[in-house]
Amino acid sequence: MSDKSFNNKRGIDILHDSTINKSTAFTDEEREKLGLVGLVPDVTESEDLQLRRVMQQLGHKSSDLDRYIYLVNLLDNDETLFYRVLMSDPVRFLPIVYDPTIAEACLKFGHIFRRPRGMYLSIARKGRVKDILRNWPVEDVRVICVTDGGRILGLGDLGANGIGIPIGKLQLYTAAAGVPPQGLLPLYLDAGTNNESLLNDPLYLGLRKSRPATEELYAFVDEFVDAVQDVFPLCCIHFEDWTGSDAVNLLARYRDQVSCYNDDIQGTAGIALSGIISALKVTGGKLKDQRILFLGAGSAAIGIANLIASAITQEGLSTQAAQGQISMFDVNGLLEPSRKDLFEFQQPYAHPHEPTKDFVEAIKSLKPTVIIGVSTVGKAFTQQVVEVMSQINDRPIIFALSNPTDHAECSAEQAYNWSKGKALYAAGVQFPPVHYGGQIFLPGQANNSYIFPAVGMAIYATQAKRVTDEMFTEAARAVSDQVTPDQLKQGLLFPPQSSILETEIKTAARVAKVVFDTNLARVERPADVEAFIRSHVYKPEYRSLT
């Protein structure tokens, strides 16, 4: 939105538009020319003073959910100040606007709802999707984050309550990577829910019907994807928190046709790969020599495995050989050829082996150097699991990636204590520092927010025609390359969140180079790609309205 579009607004209409409202920061000239005299306190405050007031008010809140609700209200009133708050202290605020607080917010979304944010596209409106998308007030939408609420975090089918996830994800695009918020659209594709408690909740905000057959759902998604190409031709579709099979199938359905990606598959894969690359800087091993065992074999596991396999092929192995380094274990045991319940996308990781439903026995037999938990089963990495991994490996790599916190396969404290300080550990949530053996370990958070906002910024700036796995592989390496030797010694496998904006700008520049190298950009390649990315970075500063 250009400043010229502000000219037709005056007085109270300006105060009701969060994208231009400055609250107490309007100058005297703006107040006189825009009819604001008397509508705001007769004082002109700096953004720093406004930030101070927000911090004071947040200090009076008793829980992170209360702080989340406060910040959402702030966003509804003053977008610039909202992002100034988030970007002033990402370590403090990103966990409030997203994981882990977003889990509780989604569970209670219909009950804490204040006003709509984003779009709600109901399957009851099929045949009209294109016209409905045109109701959005911004013409140049660059990213739509869309969910059907089918599998929210580790919480399952939350239906319309899942809109909190696209809202939060897109806030991270801006807060973590500087993607301008005007071109970001959170969208809930409402095809019903099978969650009976929600269907019986009088405050539920979605369609009160069961989910349709797959064929009907996919036909509706087809209409949505086609409509986006027409209404928002430069838009990338970010699929988020769909059920496992839908996530895999829809990505395969569209990835070679339009600009799209699935963060649960590719973003999760990127940050996991980045963590492994960092861990190997400690162990001295090569990626192609690792044996990797997953606990969980859904879309996240498949996405991580596929990206790791792709990265391994860059070290000289064939795709089949790379896949042979990776095994999976789910609720029905180890994936192997005698299993009759496997999806087609799981087959490449079902290797010949005696059937077993004992995860510890699978570890003893396969001797993995890396175990990755994406099971959503809290405490699944037991003391015996960690101890066996520590017997097999001098420095076992243990990633407990399920979230929210109570779904993590093991805590940082458990991993370090049970391994006697040997584990190279990361979790999907942030755990506090751990004291063990006279050393303080700083457990890393394998958070997708290191990856997808940077990829999003590269896509935004280059207007990429497609999104490829190579972009996520490069993002993984770029993030790992920014971890210092001292940080590795402390147990950190990812850069500190306090510098996440700078980390992501550099990562986005590396990804943008891939976009240009593969001829997927719609803009000309600049002489300095990093400077080009920096020129697109949003800054939470008020603009003159006169």
As averages over each run of 10 residues, the pLDDT of the chain (546 residues) reads 57 95 96 96 96 97 96 96 97 91 92 92 97 97 97 89 95 98 97 96 96 97 98 98 91 97 94 97 95 95 95 95 97 96 95 97 98 95 98 98 90 97 94 94 93 98 97 97 96 94 98 98 98 98 92
Query: Is there a catalytic annotation at residue 286?
Result: no
- Other beta carbons within 10 Å of 114: 9
Q: Which CATH architecture fits 266-449?
A: 3-Layer(aba) Sandwich (3.40)
For the domain 101-258, what is the CATH code? 3.40.50.10380
Query: Is there a catalytic annotation at residue 98?
Result: yes
Give the integer Cα–Cα distance in Å for 340 and 337.
Answer: 8
Instruction: Say if CB 508 and CB 461 are below 8 A apart.
Output: yes
Domain residue extents for the chain: 3-89, 101-258, 266-449
Sheet with 119-122: strands ordered across: 119-122, 184-190, 143-147, 236-239, 260-262
Q: Which residues of 275-310 are buried (b: 16+ CB within 10 A; e: fewer)?
A: bbbbbbeebebebeebbbbbbbbbbbbbbbbbbbbb
Of the candidates 377, 369, 372, 323, the one whose C-alpha atom is nearest the C-alpha of residue 346 is 323
334 residue type, one letter: L
Residue 2's pLDDT is 38
Of the candidates 473, 475, 428, the one whose C-alpha atom is nearest the C-alpha of residue 456 is 475
Give the integer Cα–Cα distance in Å for 229 and 33.
Answer: 40
Catalytic residue, chosen from 22, 169, 506, 513, is 169
Q: Helix, strand or coil for residue 194?
A: coil
Say which residues have a Cβ less than 8 Å from residue 118's Cβ, sequence separation at least 6.
Answer: 163, 166, 167, 185, 186, 187, 188
Residue 6's pLDDT is 53
Instruction: Say if CB 250 and CB 222 are below 8 A apart.
Output: no
What is the helix (H) or strand (E) element at residue 190, kind and residue range? strand 184-190
Residue 3's pLDDT is 39
Residue 219's pLDDT is 98
Domain spanning 3-89: which CATH class is it, in words?
mainly alpha
Instruction: Say if CB 154 and CB 404 are below 8 A apart.
Output: yes
Sheet with 333-334: strands ordered across: 333-334, 326-330, 292-295, 370-373, 397-400, 424-427, 444-445
Q: Helix, strand or coil for residue 425?
A: strand
Catalytic residue, chosen from 98, 173, 188, 416, is 98
Dihedrals phi, psi of 40, to nearest 5 degrees: -135, 160
What's the distance, CA 59 to chain centroid? 27
Instruction: Say if CB 72 and CB 61 are below 8 A apart.
Output: no
Looking up tokens 């109570």 gives 406
Same fold, 3-89 and 266-449: no
Helix 452-462 crosses helix 469-480 at what angle (to 10 degrees)? 120
Say which residues have a Cβ less than 8 Å from residue 498's Cβ, sequence separation at least 6.
Answer: 89, 90, 91
